[in-house]
Amino acid sequence: MIKNVVPIASPVVNYLTYIQAYCSINWKIEDKVHKHEFLSDGDRSFMQACSVDLSFGDGSFAYLTELFYFLPAYLFRENSEGFMEYFTCLAQGHDAQTLSHLFELYSYHISRLQEFIPSFLSNRASLEHDDVLCKIKHLSIIYKSNFFRYMQFIWDTDKAIIERTCDYINEIFANYDIVGKWEDLTGFDLLSDQYQLIIVPSLQFGPCANSLHYGVNIFPAITEYCTKYYFDHFISHEIGTHILKPHTLDKVQVSEENHRIYYIAFENLAKHINMKILSNKYQYELGEDYYEDSIFESIYNNLDALANDDIGSMYFTAIDQYKKLKS
């Protein structure tokens, strides 16, 4: 069975991204029309004061990111019904002094997200301090009260950009089983029957591919800041990370301060294999300053020359060699 790449237009995920980007949290937007009128000054100031708590990127995230981005994005990616009730439930945690109702109501979806990120919402106690619950309540009111404003003034513009992007993605993969190609080359399966790409125009100047589950990814739209060339090679890269993750990154248990080495080795492995998937037609960098592409390119090329066909073993050997180079 072919596992299709399915681009989708999600009002909720676009709103969750836009409201943060409007406040220069995680992303930035060049929306000159609505830049100074989408949120009140007070709401914007409060969100900006919570910027550190809502931030994420490069495989790690702050403690409010799950509640205000990843969980609602996963819950309402296909249907916005119940979206307002989610933030009502979240806000009520302050009066109740517990988030028990929210964890019970969405327990199935939380467990699904924990399949992909085992630590997802695992530190519930840290969220139930009074000052944190107060912050959660205030943010929930802001998120709830501005959704219809986004739908009225901004969604139609975003939707048109999304639809053009979806058309291009469908064109790329119309007769191309990219998931099957990855599965054949690696011997691993994508743990999903399809690969959803949630297209978001305001996903720019920040984390540009954000995984929710094995078959769900939040991805940018085609704009002047993100050209078609990016889609030609990076969708395949992201599919690769989702296929490789259970056999590489998920097999390590490291502290937060040591996470970077294992994460950049993982992303560079996906890039290394992706070059083979794409027959070296595309050249791209993950970002030399953080991911150290050139070092890992040399390491993985040398391991290829040794005819090491065990991808999991290659990953851990690459980490060992990187550590020796840095010691």
What pLDDT is stored for residue 255 in this prediction?
66
d(Cα 299, Cα 225) in Å, to the nearest integer? Answer: 31
Amino acid at 189: D
What pLDDT is stored for residue 227 in this prediction?
87
What pLDDT is stored for residue 29 in this prediction?
78
What pLDDT is stored for residue 35 in this prediction?
53
What pLDDT is stored for residue 145 in this prediction?
95
- The answer to whether 6 and 196 have CB atoms below 8 angstroms apart is yes
Complete DSSP assignment for 140-203: HHHHHHHHHHHHHHTHHHHHHHHHHHHHHHHHHTTT--HHHHHHHHHS---SSSSEEEEEETT-
Residues of the chain under the 70 pLDDT cut:
30-36, 58-59, 255-257, 307-308
What pLDDT is stored for residue 308 in this prediction?
64
What pLDDT is stored for residue 169 in this prediction?
96
- The answer to whether 66 and 100 have CB atoms below 8 angstroms apart is no
Residue 236 CB burial class (10 angstroms; 0-12, 13-18, ≥19): buried
Degrees to nearest 5, angle at CA 218 with 43 and 33:
45
Please name the residues in contact with 289: beta carbons below 8 A apart, sequence gap of 6 or more. Answer: none
Complete DSSP assignment for 25-77: SS-----TTTTTTSS-HHHHHHHHHTHHHH-EETTEE-TTHIIIIIHHHHHTS
